Amino acid sequence: MKVCVIGLGYIGLPTAAMLAKNGNKVLGVDVNPAVLKSLQENAAPSEEPGLHDLVASVLGSGDLKLAGSPEPSDVFILCLPTPIKKDRTPDLDYVESGMASILGVLKNGDMVILESTVPPGTTARLIAGMVKKKGFDPTKDIDLAFAPERVIPGNILKEIQDLDRVMGGLTARASERARSLYSCFVKGQIYLTDATTAEFVKLVENSYRDVNIAFANELAKMAPELGINVWEAIQIANRHPRVNIHTPGPGVGGHCIAVDPYFIIDSVSPGLARLLSTAREVNSSMPGVVVSRLKSEMGDLSGKKVALLGIAYKGNVGDPRESPSLDIFRLLAAGGAAVMAHDPFVKASPVELHTLEETLQDADATLIATNHTAYCNIRPGDAQKLVRGRLIFDTRNVIDPAVWRGAGWKVLILGDGKS
Ligand SMILES: NC(=O)c1ccc[n+]([C@@H]2O[C@H](COP(=O)([O-])OP(=O)(O)OC[C@H]3O[C@@H](n4cnc5c(N)ncnc54)[C@H](O)[C@@H]3O)[C@@H](O)[C@H]2O)c1
């Protein structure tokens, strides 16, 4: 197959590389020249295990080629960003312009697969509508399908092969054709349905997790009033064979869980997605909860230095998109604190980053916002050579409070109302 993958980010690049490794001639297309340049020079910019070597090998063999615009192919796969706008409605501009870019080379018999996470009905309405406008019948001339990704950053190459997938075509033929293409590298089961159900399934998976985390966060908020440690309570409750409560924290970030519920909320009548809206509210309130707790411990924040450890939305990845750390940073700064941030993984940070030493130097309080392994291993003895105040607030429950308290630190753990 000649396959054209549009968008070479977290999802598009591994997809293009896996297709190229498994018998297809792939053209990877990205409108950002910096992405292409970096791939040409360094093979893969991301820290994904195995990705650099895989991309280097398929670029070397010529099975993956790179370009700034699409060329005639048998299959086009759209892996484009689908962020939310400021008003929390879906931004489909990237998908629309990526789709527009292939219309000039699209021909009878081609297939278009949308991988981007989108509101239900996008393939059947937006994509099919554009194909129709170009003069094709989207149920006969062109096969259209939606094939979402479920991979987790940090383990993409393994999960892209191992996980079960859902795929939905506009027609049964399109669904089968999508399954047949991906079967060259997907070892998990591929479940077929219609395009709108597949779009909904992808959103439901992440919304389920958002609601579950909101539940955990609500329990964490109650913990101080009840005098319990929420981490202990959840751990014991999860020993029940049919209970699986997720982990509380300073909020929910990333490009998926913090975004996808809005795609459902926006797609249905007002008031119908109440649970999803409430979960979003609870999770979005957590940075405020964290900052209030710190304020109540430190009093007025003005003139105080806070060392913010972690800008990525989760541990051991470099993705700061929608990260609650950014809200925490803004709220602390708005309260008058001098905030200095550190993150060992984030390369392009929306806030200025410093070395760990600079960040801790003369800090009145240290706040762990991301569960990077490096932060679990900080020793209080090392930190206290740098800081001014021995106050640490762990919003991820990664440090051993007994060790830190033993070294003379005041330790706050999010959701610990016991100590
Ligand atoms: N990152 C994840 O872990 C993950 C997981 C599952 C699903 N998704 C979904 O996959 C989709 C892609 O996400 P991502 O994280 O790979 O995005 P990304 O921002 O990492 O990459 C998108 C790439 O598309 C390029 N691009 C933008 N417009 C273009 C155009 N018109 N033509 C060609 N290239 C263009 C950008 O330059 C960028 O390199 C999103 O809908 C996302 O929700 C992401």
| Residue 129 burial (CB count, 10 A) | 13
Residue 179, CA atoms < 13 Å, CB-side half-sphere: 21
Q: Please say if 314 is a catalytic residue.
A: no
Q: Which among 202, 304, 305, 314 is annotated as catalytic? A: 202
270/197 same-domain check: no
Taking the C-alpha atoms of residue 272 and residue 127, their distance in angstroms, rounded to an integer, is: 26
Distance 395 CA to ligand 1 centre (A): 29
Taking the C-alpha atoms of residue 41 and residue 32, their distance in angstroms, rounded to an integer, is: 15
Residue ID of nearest Cα to ligand 1 atom 11: 116
pLDDT for the residue 15: 98
264/187 same-domain check: no
Q: Which among 256, 304, 305, 314 is annotated as catalytic? A: 256
pLDDT tens digits for range 154-178: 899 999 999 999 999 999 999 999 9
108/15 same-domain check: yes
395/268 same-domain check: yes
CATH code at 406?
Answer: 3.40.50.720
- The number of the ligand 1 atom at minimal distance from the alpha carbon of 255 is 43
Token output for 65: 């080629």
292/190 same-domain check: no
Residue type at 91?
Answer: D
- Is residue 235 included in any domain, yes or no? no
pLDDT for the residue 255: 87
Residue ID of nearest Cα to ligand 1 atom 44: 11
Distance 153 CA to ligand 1 centre (A): 13
189/302 same-domain check: no
Regions of the chain short of the pLDDT cut 70: 45-46
27/141 same-domain check: yes
Q: Please say if 202 is a catalytic residue.
A: yes
The answer to whether the beta carbons of residues 55 and 66 sit under 8 Å apart is no
The answer to whether the beta carbons of residues 40 and 60 sit under 8 Å apart is no
Distance 253 CA to ligand 1 centre (A): 16
The answer to whether the beta carbons of residues 16 and 26 sit under 8 Å apart is yes
Decide which of 201, 217, 250 is a domain's last residue: 201
| 11, 252, 257, best to mutate for ligand 1 pocket (most atoms within 8 Å of CB) | 11
- Is residue 251 included in any domain, yes or no? no
**Could you give the C-alpha distances from 353 to 152, 356, 374, in angstroms and in order?**
25, 9, 16
The answer to whether the beta carbons of residues 147 and 165 sit under 8 Å apart is yes
The answer to whether the beta carbons of residues 379 and 406 sit under 8 Å apart is no
Distance 410 CA to ligand 1 centre (A): 42
Distance 8 CA to ligand 1 centre (A): 7
Whole-prediction pTM: 0.93
The answer to whether the beta carbons of residues 243 and 311 sit under 8 Å apart is no
Residue 46, CA atoms < 13 Å, CB-side half-sphere: 23
- Is residue 229 included in any domain, yes or no? no
Q: Where does residue 123 rank: exposed (0-12), middle (13-18), buried (19+ CB within 10 A)?
A: buried
pLDDT for the residue 198: 98
195/78 same-domain check: yes
Distance 7 CA to ligand 1 centre (A): 6
Taking the C-alpha atoms of residue 268 and residue 247, their distance in angstroms, rounded to an integer, is: 28
| Cα–Cα nearest to 279, from 222, 205, 207 | 207
26/144 same-domain check: yes
Host domain of residue 21: 2-201
- Is residue 239 included in any domain, yes or no? no
Residue ID of nearest Cα to ligand 1 atom 15: 10
Residues with Cβ within 8 Å of 219's Cβ and at least 6 positions away in sequence, in order, are: 230, 233, 234, 245, 248, 415
Taking the C-alpha atoms of residue 295 and residue 414, their distance in angstroms, rounded to an integer, is: 14
| 5, 40, 149, 160, best to mutate for ligand 1 pocket (most atoms within 8 Å of CB) | 149
Instruction: Give residues (CB < 6 A) around ligand 1.
Output: 6-12, 29-32, 35, 79-82, 94, 97-98, 101, 115-117, 149, 151, 153, 255-256
The answer to whether the beta carbons of residues 174 and 76 sit under 8 Å apart is no
Decide which of 158, 173, 201 is a domain's last residue: 201
- Is residue 75 included in any domain, yes or no? yes
**Could you give the C-alpha distances from 203 to 159, 200, 252, 256, in angstroms and in order?**
18, 5, 15, 9
pLDDT for the residue 213: 98
- The number of the ligand 1 atom at minimal distance from the alpha carbon of 79 is 12
Residue ID of nearest Cα to ligand 1 atom 21: 9
The answer to whether the beta carbons of residues 27 and 67 sit under 8 Å apart is yes
| 30, 40, 264, best to mutate for ligand 1 pocket (most atoms within 8 Å of CB) | 30
277/402 same-domain check: yes
Tokens 């957590």 belong to residue? 286
185/271 same-domain check: no
Residue ID of nearest Cα to ligand 1 atom 18: 9
pLDDT tens digits for range 238-279: 999 999 999 999 999 998 999 999 999 999 999 999 999 999
pLDDT tens digits for range 14-61: 999 999 999 999 999 999 999 999 999 988 766 789 999 999 999 999
- The number of the ligand 1 atom at minimal distance from the alpha carbon of 153 is 3
- What are the φ/ψ torsions at residue 279 (nearest 5 degrees)? -60, -40
| 10, 82, 206, best to mutate for ligand 1 pocket (most atoms within 8 Å of CB) | 10
Structural domain count, the chain: 2
Task: Report long-range pairs for 93-97 (Cβ below 8 Å, ≥24 apart).
Answer: 94/7, 95/122, 95/126, 95/127, 96/126, 96/130
Residues with Cβ within 8 Å of 91's Cβ and at least 6 positions away in sequence, in order, are: 82, 83, 84, 85
DSSP state of 73: -
Token output for 383: 């930190």
Taking the C-alpha atoms of residue 56 and residue 239, their distance in angstroms, rounded to an integer, is: 45
pLDDT for the residue 42: 84
Sheet holding 410-413, edge to edge: 338-342, 305-309, 365-368, 391-394, 410-413
- Is residue 240 included in any domain, yes or no? no
Decide which of 201, 221, 252 is a domain's last residue: 201
The answer to whether the beta carbons of residues 125 and 146 sit under 8 Å apart is no
DSSP secondary structure, 86-152, as one string:
TTS-B--HHHHHHHHHHHTT--TT-EEEE-S---TTHIIIIIHHHHHHTT--TTTTSEEEE------
Distance 180 CA to ligand 1 centre (A): 23
268/371 same-domain check: yes
- Is residue 418 included in any domain, yes or no? no
Distance 89 CA to ligand 1 centre (A): 17
**Could you give the C-alpha distances from 47 to 154, 185, 372, in angstroms and in order?**
7, 21, 14
DSSP state of 413: E
